[in-house]
């Protein structure tokens, strides 16, 4: 049985475990129909031209983990930003771990999607927000919606700001030979409220894992959201991240994506500017080696006038790795005075590495500033020589240049401890010692 058929038949089993009378279940059923109709995307579709899911579909994934698993904090501490205090929403093989988590209802809700989807007190919020910005057409988003049951639920009321960042961490223990996870996150940041989130998916063994995640983010007027995705998973783990952001007037949302690990990673990052004076920022650092594959598909839809969007993605590709950047910007006719910037710079450090980069601009307004630039290059030989004449060996000089290349993306990271961590990850990924504290 192929994966699609298995998922379709699993849906019935899934229905035995959820409240099918809840209105959310109608949403799930609709979504399942869409997935049945569309199936997995194939390379024939323009949006999936460079990313094939064929081999993943041949894996016999477990869709529901057999048993609950536990992990000792000391064994997984390094995957948390343990240098600082944080709220934590932690899942082990898709199941919430109260032991590793630290949730709160003190003025803000930082808790579980499963509660939000079942408890009556959350119903008004779910009715307004659940599956409202996520695509109803895209098949993998539909697949996630169909099986949506667990994930992070964050609600920050007007004028509030949680005392500390929120970490959403998914562990896969390898208890199953191969595991499919479908976390569903809903994040609502009300007027003039603020939130910082760090999301991470971490497999702990070399058993195959596929995560198909959907995150919906709603930023109300004047809200500020900083979202950091740390993608440094095992070489046996694949991730399809579908993130949808809806922004109202004067809100500011930044998403940073750090892609260093994993087998296949696909980031579908979608921003909808449903307000004026909105600022959307997407930044990414991708450093790949071996046969890793990362595909960044971004969309910014400028729906209202006077908004800005900024995209800055840097990629360093070594060995046989492959990368994709596809940045789509739509400026509606009404969205005058739009400023949309997009930059994608890549360095290929191996003859066998590949990057496909494509800006896609659809502009219907006439008074806008849109710029885009893609570069693919090697390291600057003159810069290398310059560093070498100062006594820095070639390998370190290369690393320093690559570090420098990626560095300006890190400047906007607002959690210093996270910035330091990412710096260290970059140095580690580049396999060198840098002669200064990162």
Would you give the end-to-end CA distance of the chain in angstroms? 50
Minimum Å gap between C-beta 407 and another protein is 3
3-class secondary-structure state, position 235: coil
Minimum Å gap between C-beta 390 and another protein is 4
Beta bridge partner(s), residue 210: 180, 238
Round to whole Å and give the CA distance between 143 and 136. 10
Round to whole Å and give the CA distance between 53 and 191. 40
Alpha helices in 39-120 (DSSP H): 54-57, 73-76, 113-118
Binding mask 362-381 for another protein (x = CB under 8 A): ------------------xx
Q: How many residues bind another protein (CB under 8 A)?
A: 27
Nearer to another protein by C-beta: 66 or 390?
390
How is residue 102 annotated by DSSP?
A: B
Distances from the Cα of 406 to the Cαs of 9, 281, 396, in angstroms? 45, 16, 15
Nearer to another protein by C-beta: 206 or 408?
408
Nearer to another protein by C-beta: 177 or 404?
404
CA-based max dimension of the chain: 72
Minimum Å gap between C-beta 149 and another protein is 43
Residue 325 contacts another protein per CB under 8 A: no
Strands 264-273, 293-302: pairing is parallel
Based on the number of CB atoms within 10 Å of its own CB, is 222 exposed (0-12), middle (13-18) or buried (19 or more)?
A: buried
Tell me which residue of 181, 114, 179, 177 sits closest to 150, measured CA to CA.
Answer: 114
* Of positions 386, 416, 428, 431, contacts another protein by CB under 8 A: 386
Minimum Å gap between C-beta 381 and another protein is 7
Nearer to another protein by C-beta: 376 or 434?
434
Residue 14 contacts another protein per CB under 8 A: no
Tell me which residue of 165, 163, 188, 46 sits closest to 106, measured CA to CA.
Answer: 163
Nearer to another protein by C-beta: 363 or 383?
383
Residue 388 contacts another protein per CB under 8 A: yes
Minimum Å gap between C-beta 357 and another protein is 21
Site for another protein in 394-413 (CB under 8 A): 394, 396-397, 400-401, 403-408
What's CA 224's distance to the chain center, in Å?
Answer: 18
Minimum Å gap between C-beta 423 and another protein is 11
Minimum Å gap between C-beta 395 and another protein is 10
Site for another protein in 164-183 (CB under 8 A): none
Residues that bind another protein (CB under 8 A): 380-383, 385-394, 396-397, 400-401, 403-408, 434-436
């Amino acid at each position: 049985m192929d994966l699609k058929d298995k998922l379709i038949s699993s849906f019935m089993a899934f229905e035995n475990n959820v409240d099918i009378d809840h209105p959310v279940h109608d949403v799930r059923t609709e979504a399942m129909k869409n997935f049945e109709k569309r199936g997995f995307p194939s390379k024939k579709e323009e949006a999936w031209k460079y990313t094939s899911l064929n081999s993943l579909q041949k894996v016999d994934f477990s869709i529901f983990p057999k048993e609950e698993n536990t992990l000792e904090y000391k064994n997984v501490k390094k995957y948390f930003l343990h240098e600082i205090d944080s709220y934590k929403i932690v899942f082990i093989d898709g199941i919430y771990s109260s032991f590793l988590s630290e949730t709160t209802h003190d003025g803000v809700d930082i808790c579980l999607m499963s509660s939000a989807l079942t408890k009556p007190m959350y119903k008004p919020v779910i009715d307004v927000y659940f599956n409202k910005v996520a695509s109803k057409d895209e098949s993998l988003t539909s697949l996630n919606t169909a099986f949506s049951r667990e994930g992070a639920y964050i609600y920050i009321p007007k004028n509030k700001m949680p005392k500390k960042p929120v970490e959403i961490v998914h562990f896969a223990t390898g208890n199953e030979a191969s595991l499919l996870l479908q976390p569903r996150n809903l994040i609502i940041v009300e007027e003039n409220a603020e939130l910082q989130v760090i999301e991470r998916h971490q497999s702990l063994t070399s058993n195959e894992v596929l995560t198909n995640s959907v995150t919906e983010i709603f930023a109300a007027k004047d809200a500020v959201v900083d979202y950091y995705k740390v993608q440094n998973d095992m070489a046996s783990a694949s991730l399809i991240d579908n993130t949808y952001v809806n922004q109202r007037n004067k809100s500011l949302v930044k998403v940073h994506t750090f892609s260093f690990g994993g087998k296949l990673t696909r980031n579908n990052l979608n921003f909808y500017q449903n307000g004026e004076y909105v600022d959307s920022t997407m930044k990414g650092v991708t450093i790949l080696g071996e046969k890793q594959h990362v595909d960044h598909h971004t969309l910014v839809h400028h729906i209202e006038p006077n908004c800005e969007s900024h995209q800055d993605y840097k990629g360093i590709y070594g060995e046989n790795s492959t990368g994709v950047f596809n940045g789509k910007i739509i400026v509606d006719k009404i969205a005058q005075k739009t400023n949309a910037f997009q930059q994608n710079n890549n360095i290929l450090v191996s003859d066998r590495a590949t990057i496909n980069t494509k800006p896609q601009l659809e502009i219907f307004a006439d008074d806008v500033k849109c710029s885009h630039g893609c570069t693919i290059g090697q390291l600057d030989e003159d810069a290398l020589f310059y560093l070498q004449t100062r006594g820095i060996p070639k390998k370190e000089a290369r690393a320093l240049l690559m570090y420098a290349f990626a560095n300006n993306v890190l400047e906007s990271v607002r959690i210093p401890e996270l910035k330091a961590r990412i710096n260290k990850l970059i140095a580690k990924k580049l396999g060198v010692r840098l002669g200064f504290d990162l």
